[in-house]
Amino acid sequence: MMNQREARHRYRQNQNKNQNSFAANSIMDTGLLNYELVRPGLLSKLVCLDEIGSTNEFASAHSFPSDTLIVTTNQTCGKGRFGRKWFSDPGKNIAMTLVRNYSLGIDEIHCVSFYSSLILLKSLVKICGSSAKDFSLKWPNDLLLKGKKVSGFLLDTKDLRSAEKKISVGLGINVNQELFDEEIKHKATSLLLDAGKEFDTDEIIIRFVTDFYATLHLINDHTSLMLQWKDNCGHIGKKIMFRLLADGEEYPALVKDILPDGSLRLQLEDGNEKSFYSGEVSVAY
């Protein structure tokens, strides 16, 4: 009988023979990712790219089947929220987009975003062996490590009128980046900067995707999902600065809650409470 190592080797050889046309010379171990994620049936397609402008844009430009993962460690023109750029040093970090069809109502799409950030938090706690308290979630879907951003999410949607909605979850994880630009270094970090050691990007990709598929039912269990998300959110009950638009003014507010519809419930300076569906929170740590 073949042992696991041989099976993996055989699988790698086969994968390399039938190599996906996007995957040549990837610095990621495409064979290993295929073995761990495609072979067990989690992903239907894996696209490993040596270099790409944006994994989200690449996903939008193609018609990939549900459960396709597009991944690179060299994203050159990453897109962030509010039309910002997402910067990443070549070969250091993970940029990936998971394309999937979800049977959800329009008013439930936010659950995919909350679910994805919650799962990444759980996966990184396992990989880093650090305290769960070191990682926290910032509304609507940033992942912070000791108060600095270590990962960001950007969702693109298609087929919003049909029952099955195609949602691309794009996530960038700062893994082995050592330096950040002057303007963001006070608020951005990487796993390496925190732990003082390098992390294996393949291991993180495998952990995240495996965890993502293991508890998919949570997306439909809104109460439990939001309770878990709020349990890991660092700013409920705290004073924050809130900005509604990217170039808009920041104003102080008290975070009262995150409601089941995904909105942020704030108490404004005049004492009135209001719910927001988009915007940006800054937290002073």
Binding to ligand BTN by residue 136, rule CB under 6 A?
A: no
CB 54, CB 78: distance < 8 Å:
yes
Return the structure tokens found at 20. 């996906």
Binding to ligand BTN by residue 78, rule CB under 6 A?
A: yes
- Nearest-approach distance from CB 150 to ligand BTN, in angstroms: 11
Nearer to ligand BTN (CB atom), residue 48 or residue 95: 95
Binding to ligand BTN by residue 193, rule CB under 6 A?
A: no
Binding to ligand BTN by residue 262, rule CB under 6 A?
A: no
Among the listed residues 9, 11, 45, 80, the single contact to ligand BTN using CB under 6 A: 80
Binding to ligand BTN by residue 99, rule CB under 6 A?
A: no
Among the listed residues 171, 175, 188, 253, the single contact to ligand BTN using CB under 6 A: 171
Binding to ligand BTN by residue 279, rule CB under 6 A?
A: no
Among the listed residues 153, 199, 208, 229, the single contact to ligand BTN using CB under 6 A: 153
Binding to ligand BTN by residue 49, rule CB under 6 A?
A: no
Return the structure tokens found at 273. 């409470």
Q: What is the spatial distance between Cα 91 and Cα 14, in angstroms, rounded to a whole number?
A: 26
Binding to ligand BTN by residue 92, rule CB under 6 A?
A: no
- Nearest-approach distance from CB 243 to ligand BTN, in angstroms: 13
Nearer to ligand BTN (CB atom), residue 15 or residue 55: 55
Binding to ligand BTN by residue 95, rule CB under 6 A?
A: yes
Among the listed residues 56, 73, 113, 123, the single contact to ligand BTN using CB under 6 A: 56
Which of 119, 54, 113 shows the shortest CA–CA distance to 80? 54
Piece in contact with ligand BTN (CB under 6 A), picked from 9-17, 37-45, 152-160, 250-258: 152-160
Which of 205, 213, 23, 50 shows the shortest CA–CA distance to 127? 205
How many residues of this chain interact with ligand BTN, rule: CB under 6 A? Answer: 20
Binding to ligand BTN by residue 140, rule CB under 6 A?
A: no
- Residue window 197-236: x/- pattern of binding to ligand BTN, with contact defined by CB under 6 A: ----------------------------------------
**Interface residue list for ligand BTN (CB under 6 A):** 54-56, 75, 78-81, 84, 86, 95-97, 142, 152-154, 170-172
